[in-house]
Amino acid sequence: KAGVTQTPRYLIKTRGQQVTLSCSPISGHRSVSWYQQTPGQGLQFLFEYFSETQRNKGNFPGRFSGRQFSNSRSEMNVSTLELGDSALYLCASSSGLAAETKQFFGPGTRLTVL
């Protein structure tokens, strides 16, 4: 099976702009979770989508949003970018059928905010 794919791999934006990141999960997986990775805060959970519904949400401001399509592909959007949003954004794919299912990560999108 193909792994989790994320596009684009790199992005450079300026403060105040918005950005949309895309994630395609492993075929057959219905859950997509998003994480932010920074040197200071480590890996932090943003939100999870399952069958087009947000099922769980972390402690991030409303500028961070997402959605999932009927083919399980997911997008996350960050509006009004701040310098502190510079990070590696990772998505993880799983079957989502139980709390203890394996999550498989994509390579990430490196976002730089200038």
Partner 1 sequence: GENVEQHPSTLSVQEGDSAVIKCTYSDSASNYFPWYKQELGKGPQLIIDIRSNVGEKKDQRIAVTLNKTAKHFSLHITETQPEDSAVYFCAASGNTGFQKLVFGTGTRLLVSP
Contact 31, 96 (CB under 8 A): yes
Q: In what order do the strands lie in the sheet with 19-24?
A: 5-7, 19-24, 74-78, 64-68
Least distance between partner 1 and beta carbon 90 (Å): 5
CA distance 90 to 105: 7
Which backbone phi and psi does 15 adopt, to 5 degrees? -55, 140
The one segment of 14-22, 64-72, 76-84, 95-103 that binds partner 1 by CB under 8 A: 95-103
Per-residue binding letters, 12-51, with partner 1 (x by CB under 8 A): -------------------x-x-x------xxxx--x-x-
- Contact between 56 and partner 1 by CB under 8 A: the answer reads yes
Q: How many residues bind partner 1 (CB under 8 A)?
A: 28
CA distance 90 to 110: 9
Q: Which residues make up the interface to partner 1 (CB under 8 A)?
A: 4, 31, 33, 35, 42-45, 48, 50, 55-56, 58, 90, 92, 94, 96, 98-108
